Structure 1
């Protein structure tokens, strides 16, 4: 049994969608979550900036004794995980847009990917896309402007809907039957997205798959906790109240951190 916490970081509140899936599957595990909202969105930063922020976040979580780190951010994963795995001697769980299941199951052979610029322009994303999209048309769309809205608690309303209509309508007109959400913030927009794309389009995010992978890695390295009353600490370096908004149904501690 290993009672050290699982560390999770994201560019902001979006990774809470991943945390919820991990907590649901692994209710006995302690967690520490770092929301680097001060530097959100990562998707508009350079590769070097993303790497340096990811190193800073990793070292913060390591200093708090985390036994494994989940990079709950597509942009940070695609730009930094290779370096982090080489540099630090703990397991890292990353997140990539779920192109593979979309491509394998698409009947129209046309899928959409809604992600940040930082993810869509990364080498890892382009390699994954090439590996699984043979015979498939992949329509990539940068969701510019969505992350700041979600960070401020706006997950519906006119601003959100207008941006989503702008980004999704061209995909719909080209006949997508799967939409891959390539940013952990975007699952909070699923109700609005589903209204726009209708039930003819299947929406895929990575939360459940990441939770299952986290469980398997903990078991592989004999790092699992068992039968303890778990504790959950959340930190934000911008506005803890915005983070609390996405965690109202959970008994967790949420604090501001000057980080």
Structure 2
């Protein structure tokens, strides 16, 4: 099984931010990436819909012989990963907003989190936030509209800047010193966010931590690929492939697949 690929799925192209971190830390691992852009964003769907989409993606990756599955979507993690682990006999790596490091490091005792409605309203998110909140004020902001703009290739557009201005204003007024990105699409906004936020505000996403956890689980389960072969990275989408192509290295091909 060690030579089988790592499966990664997201509600579109955002999870490629996780793929890039995994590729850096685990350069010997094959990967298969599913961009469920046809159903993006997951954040506005019901928990039942999110679970069914997650099951669909998981079963497709298992059909492709994946040895481990990274749920590269905060909304799918917080709403579905518990059930996925109960149903399938394969390791799952999930993604949670990095509330813990932000809360522990904050000097102003105020942190902001930009996430989808599906993540912010989930039981897992509330449990995690309450665990690490302590005396820190957490300002939650639903990033409604961000994912569709990124999926449409409008990451640096006027519409995006206008949207982010309205979302960041209350956080800046409250003197946050950390902004937690609670969606794997959002790291692609970091250059823009750095321009819009005061210099002292640090931005945290979960990509590196997820890659480290993936390596730890593969090591624990004796699933690390120790063969030195040509590594393959396959990408599938069920919508316009051009947006995914635009953020990937040109050496990668993106195939359109109905799922």
Q: TM-score, normalised by structure 1?
A: 0.98
- The residue aligned with 1:119 is 119
Deviations 1:133-176 (A, max 9, x none): 01010000000000000001111121111100000011000010
Aligned equivalent of 1:8: 8
Find the aligned partners of 1:228 and 1:96 in 2 and give their Cα distance: 33
Match of 1:157 in 2: 157
Q: Tell me, in whole angstroms, the C-alpha distance in 2 between the residues paired with 1:162 and 1:169.
A: 11
Deviates more, 1:49-58 or 1:189-198: 189-198
Specify the SS of the correspondent of 2:236: strand
Structure 1 residue 250: deviation in Å? 5.1
Measure how far apart 1:229 and its partner are.
Answer: 1.7
Structure 2 residue matching 1:194: 3-state secondary structure = helix
Q: For residue 175 of structure 2, give the secondary structure of its aligned residue in structure 1.
A: coil
Q: Does 1:45 align with 2:17?
A: no
| 3-state SS of 1:23 partner | helix
Q: Assess if the C-alpha contact under 8 Å between 1:231 and 1:252 holds in 2.
A: no
- Are positions 1:169 and 2:169 aligned together? yes
Give 1:199 deviation, angstroms: 1.7
Alignment gaps of 5+ in structure 1: none
In structure 1, the partner of 2:183 is 183
Q: 1: distance between equivalents of 2:172 and 2:222?
A: 45
Q: Quote how far apart the aligned CAs of 1:239 are.
A: 1.1
Secondary structure of the 2:225 match is coil
Q: 3-state SS of the aligned residue for 1:258?
A: coil
Q: Which runs of 5+ in 2 are unaligned?
A: none
1:74/1:119 contact within 8 Å kept: yes
Compute the displacement of 1:5 (Å).
0.1
Q: Deviations over 1:176-224 (max 9, x none)?
A: 0000000000000001111111221000000001001101100000001
1:164 aligned counterpart, secondary structure: helix
Aligned residue pairs total: 258
Moved more, 60-69 or 227-236: 227-236
**SS of equivalent residue, structure 2 residue 200:** coil
Distance 1:63 1:14 in 2: 23
Counterpart of 2:223 in structure 1 is 223
Secondary structure at 1:239 match in 2: coil
Secondary structure at 2:60's aligned position in 1? helix
Note if contact 1:68-1:91 (Cα within 8 Å) is conserved in structure 2: yes
69-78 or 147-156, larger mean C-alpha shift: 147-156
Alpha-carbon offset, residue 237 of structure 1? 0.3
Aligned to 1:239: 240
Distance 1:119 1:64 in 2: 28
Q: How does 1:91-170 map to 2 (within 5 A)?
A: 91-170=91-170
RMSD: 0.9
Distance 1:253 1:217 in 2: 28
Mean Cα deviation higher: 48-57 or 227-236:
227-236
